[in-house]
Amino acid sequence: MANLDIAKFKQKAYKKKKGLATFLRKAGKTKKRGLAPLIVEADKETWNEVACLDCANCCKKMTPTYTPTDIKRISAHVGLSAEEYFKKYLEKRKDGDVTNKKTPCHFLGKDHKCTIYAIRPADCAGFPHFTRKDFKYQAEQKTYTTNITLCPATLVFVEKLEAKVAGKMGKI
Ligand code: SF4
Ligand code: SF4
């Protein structure tokens, strides 16, 4: 997605969010078979269109959640103990998630590039998590609905999935 216009993306995302949220809610509850292969197709097609390196909006506006393994690996990389790293950059939220204290992410470098790309948190590596095994649960939990206005790839993906479901599964 060269020269991604975030303002334009947001405008479109807010306009389409309500309808796509309804679709995601139904997708999360559907008992019909056939959703999984359509998710894989929509995921592939999305990444043919969207280039994260021209965006980095998630690194600017959101925070990853860290596993203990992430903290161990990344703190060692920056020459701090896990405790020192936690104190300097992280916080534990009420729901137990460990996240960055601040946005944009402290590892976001010039040209929208992650400066620890090879060892970034697993959550970053998997984001926006379209092909998760618990896709339906996440859809019900409104994970993708929340991300529609934050992540251009999520908007593209959910639009594609909605069209595929309508074409191949009909009413869900
Ligand atoms: S660690 Fe890297 S990929 Fe993850 S939020 Fe920070 S800059 Fe982005
Ligand atoms: S995952 Fe979404 S928000 Fe993050 S860089 Fe890619 S398109 Fe942008």
Give the pLDDT confidence of 16-29 residue by residue, as tens digits: 999 999 999 999 99
Domain ranges of the chain: 6-60+128-168, 63-126
Share of the chain above pLDDT 90, in %: 93
Q: Does any ligand 1 atom lie closer than 6 A to the CB of residue 107?
A: yes
Ligand 2 centroid from CA 56, angstroms: 5
pLDDT tens for 107-146 read: 999 888 999 999 999 999 999 999 999 999 999 999 999 9
Q: Given a cut of 50, is residue 164 above it in pLDDT? A: yes
From 16, 21, 9, 12, select the one nearest 145 (Cα to Cα).
21
- 52 SS3 class: helix
For tokens 């609905």, the residue is 145
- In whole angstroms, what is the distance from residue 57 CA to residue 164 CA? 26
Q: Determine the pLDDT at residue 157.
A: 98
Chain segment 69-97, per-residue pLDDT in tens: 999 999 999 999 999 999 999 999 999 99
Q: How far is CA 80 from the centre of its chain?
A: 28
C-beta separation of 154 from 148 below 8 A: yes
Q: What is the pLDDT of residue 5?
A: 87
User: Can you give the pLDDT at residue 1?
Assistant: 47
Please tell me whether the peptide bond between 128 and the residue prior to it is cis, using omega within 30 degrees of 0.
yes
Q: Which residues contact 104 (CB under 8 A, 6 or more apart)?
A: 59, 60, 61
Mutational test site, ligand 1, from 55, 57, 59, max ligand atoms within 8 Å of CB: 59
